Structure 1
Amino acid sequence: MFKVSNNLIGILNLVTFLLSIPILGGGIWLSHRASTDCEKFLEKPIIALGVFLLVVSLAGLIGACCRVSWLLWAYLLVMFLLIVLLFCFTIFAFVVTNKGAGEVASGRGYKEYRLGDYSNWLQNRVNSNKNWNKIRSCLQDGKVCKSLADDANNGFEDFYKKHLSPIQSGCCKPPSDCGFTYMSATVWTKPANVTSTNPDCTTWDNDAKALCFDCKSCKAGVLDNLKRDWKKVAVVNIIFLIFLVVVYSIGCCAFRNNRDDNGYRGWKGNP
């Protein structure tokens, strides 16, 4: 007769197995339909996640329900490593996102962002040309500035009262200290002599495909958005870690049941 822990592990892994199928299918579908760099960037992680869940859930399901101890042992080992990795990532996420915040601009409804305010590790990630080319491509494909450019009510005063997202503030307009003259949300006139030493002032371009996508302020806006997302993920990870520890504990009970049951059968089979 199956023990409760074996039944629970079997049910949990059956649910995980069923969930892995649409995840894997979605990754395969995306690999054939992806047309942008952002979509192509997602296809491999989604497929890898689907395969991982499929294999691990099968190991846990067979190990618990068919009393295959070595499969259940492998399942518990993977679970233990996953718990350690998630714990380390959660701590790391809190550490690297501890620095950096937008600065309130005088008379503005939005904040402005400086790359140097964020952790060195994050700065190095966006300063890498390989990484930034992919991020910039995603920003352009996502048309993050289109809503500002299409807003016919963007008068001078209305624009400065807007609550822009970090990416819109950093990528869709020049920094305030450049002293540019407002024409529209994404069109600005450079003064004859730019007194600011901010390199973003020379990087800005009114071309809708360029704007400030190569500016340091744009990279800072991306990092501020990433910082918020990572903190949310870290909180979810804590909840998920508690769940994994509970499942791991149940799995250990199921493994002990397997070992005791196999030992009992071996003892019973002896003359």
Structure 2
Amino acid sequence: MANITYGSLEGGFFNKMIDYLIDKLEQEIHTDELVDSWSLMKTPWPILFILAIYLLFILKIGPKIMEKRKPLNLKYIMMAYNLMQMIYNFIFVTNIFQPELFNAMISTLCRESSIDFHIRLRYYSFCWYFMFSKVLDLIDTVFFVLRKKQSHVSFLHVYHHVNMVISIWLFCKFFRTSCGAFVGLMNAFVHAIMYSYYFLSAFGPIMQKYLWWKKYLTRLQIVQFIIGLTYGFSLFIFDCEFPRLFTIYMIVDVSLFLYLFLVFYKKTYSNESKLK
């Protein structure tokens, strides 16, 4: 009899959770005809196809092709790519810092209802450009494979790239709240600095003595995750106008990123200190 009661309670809790999730999905997920008309946004299939080709190449096809070949010299291609990414992210950041948009972002960190429609529409477009930048980030891994640096194709690296594309696509497709602009701005700023480092490092040994700040770049990424996690919890604490489901997802996702980056930092720089 006790088992039946326990099972009933367990089943009741499970059913309530399902009902809660369905209710939240109906309340928080919505599409927009204009956004759906943009490239890659109508259905998830184009993005999933890109990710499938990406994973297939970096994990199977690429290593097989390069198995008996010498590493490709991609110095100038990589420099052009890193410079383009650096400029792309800096432009993204400077556009958000336009007075009208920046003031709107600050005023809607928790509440979005007061934002003008034309400002909201501009944030929609920024969301798409941000998502597209994450698609461009996938090229990083292709360079690793073609240069036969397969050890760089770690779980953290691949998970980070794939997860970011999927997460930002879902956000742009179904949520699109301006409350998320702060996180995008912070991420673009970090990536602008990161690609600046990559661009300079492509010059080779002549530039190495000026790149002592690599460790601090990783620290900056970790700080980014801590701020993002704090912001995620504050959305709950202050009952902000941000989708609850995406907030939960964001907290779990950023927590995992933070853990993986801390492990990477400890492994990389503690070993570096021992070698010195």
TM-score, structure 2 as length reference: 0.24
Larger radius of gyration: 1
Task: Select the structure with the greater relative contact order (CA < 8 A; seq sep ≥ 6).
Answer: 2
TM-score, structure 1 as length reference: 0.25
1 or 2, which has the higher strand percentage?
1
